[in-house]
Chains A and B, each alone.
Chain A
Amino acid sequence: MTREEFRQIAANGVWRQNTSIVQILGLCPLLAVTTNLVNGAMLSLATILVMAISGAAVASLRYLIPHEIRIPVFILIVAALVTVVDLLFNANLHQLYLVLGIFIPLIVTNCIVLARVEAYANKNPPLQSAADGIFMGVGMLWTLSLLGGLRELIGRGTLFSGIDMVFPGLHPLQILPADYPGLLLAMLPPGAFILLGCLIAWKNWIESRAAARSRRRPPEPATAAGCH
């Protein structure tokens, strides 16, 4: 893998093809877990792991998978690997599993994994595919952390609640005054949609400003329809 290739993969994953604010994939887990920063970050970390492994696995097996039945085979591979990761976590990192536990099976339902396997790993070598999985996950990590942080701050006035379950000894921060009444809307799924919309608008605004400055057309937003 050349340096340039690596840079492309990283830029695509983290910004240009960001799963959550460009491809708008994996909305179900996004709505469900970004009620606070820690949950959003944890789900993303688990997803990074699964995407790296499944990307590498599918890329290694790509010449063995007949085109006609690739989707069932992909699902089989992803589901089996997620279950193995789930079991290994449960056995060897039990404390972490108690925190991440509910998120790991959720990843199977996350169509980002399947989308990247189909769009990338199926056509590229294992190393690149693993890198693609990792950087797509990193893109998801910052977006979900930001979204989770905003929802938590607006909804409850805190940041990092639940951090003590991941790192015992650390404590959540009370950012807004303790008598902040909270905004329930931010904690509920509609709040996630509203804030996600704001994030997308913010990203598009940056893109079009950069495009105006360099006098070129703004890039077409890429979307993968039919998979959420």
Chain B
Amino acid sequence: MSTQAKPPSAMKMAVRTAVILFLFVVAFTGLLSAAYLWTLPTIEAAAAGEKMKLIDEVLPRVGYDNDLLKDTVQLQPAAALGQNETSIAYRARKNGEPAALVLEAVAPDGYAGKIRLLIAFAADGAVLGVRVTQHKETPGLGDYVEPQKDKNKEHPWITQFDGLNPGRIDAREWKVKKDGGRFDSVAGATVTPRAVIKAVRKAALYVEENRQQLFAPARGEAK
């Protein structure tokens, strides 16, 4: 590689350096693409498994008897859900009757960006369960909204929503205790629970409003 005999001209140097940098970029981009393509199927399968595991957490399997990963409805982007892309709601049915609805909502105002939630609503609008699926809250501080990270193992923070029907609870009560509401929070980290609490209520009101459309029977096999 070394051409130390005669110092090359500046132009030659520049071209040579640029070509080498370019070759490095090509080589490592190739490496990245190969790794991406090679791992993609495994990652997608793992993600689908994760999804079902998450749904199991908000909605116990005894509550329904259909394959809810197949019984879905497309939701248009809605501010009430914090979504700016179409999202999917999973519909759980028991003996053909609507039993519950699992959908994704986003709390846009977490301490460190968006907090993604998976919420299960019963047919009457009551919250069956909430789980945080993705967040960037401070580890060890705001991340107690995730039950795995919550110090309180018996009654993790996020289970406070279970069984509550936001449609029947006054908006003034639907807040953390610090703001005069009914929900606990950890001192020093109230931004995160505030965001989650707000997002759950908004999603509940959205479900209330769009009940007919959301629980409409599946359109047969034409999906």
Partners in one complex: yes
Chain A residues within CB distance 8 Å of chain B: 32-33, 35-36, 39, 63-66, 68-69, 72-73, 76-77, 80, 83-84, 87-88, 90-92, 94, 102, 152, 155-156, 158, 161-162, 164-165, 184, 187-188
Residue contact B24 to A84, C-beta cutoff 8 Å: no
Residue contact A184 to B187, C-beta cutoff 8 Å: yes
Which residues in B have their C-beta under 8 angstroms from that of A90?
39, 43, 46
| Secondary structure of the A contact surface, majority rule | helix
B171 proximal to A (CB < 8 A): no
Which residues in B have their C-beta under 8 angstroms from that of A83?
32, 35
Contact status of A35 and B39, CB under 8 A, knowing A69-B20, A72-B21, A80-B31: no
Mask, B34-54, CB within 8 Å of A = 1, is: 011011001100100010000
Partner of B141, one of A35, A64, A69: A35
Partner of A66, one of B20, B32, B149: B20
27 residue pairs A–B, Cβ–Cβ below 8 Å: A32-B138, A32-B139, A35-B140, A39-B139, A63-B1, A64-B1, A66-B17, A66-B20, A69-B21, A72-B21, A76-B25, A80-B29, A83-B32, A84-B31, A84-B32, A88-B35, A91-B43, A91-B46, A92-B42, A94-B46, A152-B140, A156-B151, A158-B151, A164-B148, A184-B187, A187-B140, A188-B188
Residue in chain A with minimal CB distance to B49 = A94
Which residues in A have their C-beta under 8 angstroms from that of B16?
66
B28 proximal to A (CB < 8 A): yes
Residue contact A76 to B140, C-beta cutoff 8 Å: no
A90-B42 Cα distance, complex, nearest whole Å: 8
Which residues in B have their C-beta under 8 angstroms from that of A164?
148
A62-B8 Cα distance, complex, nearest whole Å: 21
A73-B50 Cα distance, complex, nearest whole Å: 37
Smallest beta-carbon distance A5→chain B, Å: 26
Smallest beta-carbon distance A195→chain B, Å: 14
Residue contact A64 to B46, C-beta cutoff 8 Å: no
Partner of B17, one of A69, A88, A102, A158: A69
Partner of B20, one of A35, A64, A77, A91: A64
Which residues in B have their C-beta under 8 angstroms from that of A92?
39, 42
Partner of A35, one of B24, B38, B139: B139
Which residues in A have their C-beta under 8 angstroms from that of B188?
184, 187-188
With A68-B17, A73-B24, A161-B151 already in contact, 8 other A-B pairs whose C-beta atoms are closer than 8 Å: A33-B139, A66-B16, A66-B20, A87-B43, A91-B39, A91-B43, A187-B141, A188-B141
A164-B150 Cα distance, complex, nearest whole Å: 12
Mask, B212-223, CB within 8 Å of A = 1, is: 000000000000
Smallest beta-carbon distance B182→chain A, Å: 24
A187-B31 Cα distance, complex, nearest whole Å: 39
Residue contact B140 to A80, C-beta cutoff 8 Å: no
A83-B33 Cα distance, complex, nearest whole Å: 10
Mask, B138-154, CB within 8 Å of A = 1, is: 11110000001101000
